[in-house]
Amino acid sequence: MKTFTAASIDALPQRTRANLMNCASGLRSALLVGTRSSNGTTNLALFSNVFHVGAAPALIGMIARPKPEGTERHTLDNILSTGCWTLNHVGQSWVSVAHQTSARYGGDTSEFEALGLHEEWIEDFAAPFVARSMIKLGLTLEQHTPLTVNDTHLLIGRVQLLRCPAEIMRDDGTLNMAGVDPAVACGLDSYHGVNSAERFAYAKPNQPPERLD
């Protein structure tokens, strides 16, 4: 076993520290964030810091990296200028192309075009979805909070659209995620598959765990 303290984490080389801390909070879904700039260029970027905030209203949050002077952060800029974005779950079979969206393409290049991913426009939602993604959401910006602790940006969006295959949705509203073969990310360079679920009923203090079929 290895034990790190705050001081020994701070003392690690920058890249090692970034990798360790990116992995230490565990596996997270790999999602492509679809946006469009105010001049109409579409953009895709891989994000894994995406989380459930609440169901009523339906809110999803994500963390965008800091934007030091002179750097380009297309996803953040596009969300702040247009007020909307899409989240598109990545499948294991196309994880390499999804990973490639994390490269720093210029602001006038659409990752959709550069990587051969097809855009899908659903109803009149103003940001592009990824056609081959099996689960996709359209969000509008409800709250943007720059986090003073490390200059990252908390973006909370309201779910305006959700599209998923009918056969993965159970009667109780849960989704059988294994049915879409999703990729989950560990840190910035590893992707894993997902096994079928073990499901349990709502836990109660005086009852043993009850398995669901």
- Which residues lie near ligand FMN (CB under 6 A)? 30, 43, 45-49, 63-65, 72-75, 99, 102, 104, 185, 188
Which is nearer to ligand FMN, 164 or 186 (by Cβ)?
186
Which is nearer to ligand FMN, 164 or 185 (by Cβ)?
185
The least CB distance from residue 114 to ligand FMN, in Å, is 11
Residue with tokens 């940006």: 153
Which is nearer to ligand FMN, 37 or 176 (by Cβ)?
37
The least CB distance from residue 152 to ligand FMN, in Å, is 8
Residue with tokens 């809110």: 59
What is the token pair recorded at 54?
A: 């609440």
Which is nearer to ligand FMN, 48 or 134 (by Cβ)?
48
Which is nearer to ligand FMN, 48 or 86 (by Cβ)?
48
Q: Count CB atoms within 10 A of the CB of residue 69.
A: 4
The least CB distance from residue 107 to ligand FMN, in Å, is 8
Handedness of CA 129, 130, 132, 137 (dihedral sign): negative
One-letter amino acid identity for 139? L
The least CB distance from residue 146 to ligand FMN, in Å, is 13
Cβ atoms of residues 156 and 60 within 8 Å: yes
The least CB distance from residue 205 to ligand FMN, in Å, is 35
Interatomic CA distance for residues 75 and 112, integer angstroms: 14
Cα dihedral 175→178→183→186 (10° resolution): 90
Which is nearer to ligand FMN, 134 or 184 (by Cβ)?
184
What is the token pair recorded at 213?
A: 């079929």
Cβ atoms of residues 29 and 180 within 8 Å: no
The least CB distance from residue 63 to ligand FMN, in Å, is 6
What is the token pair recorded at 110?
A: 């659409």
Interatomic CA distance for residues 108 and 173, integer angstroms: 40
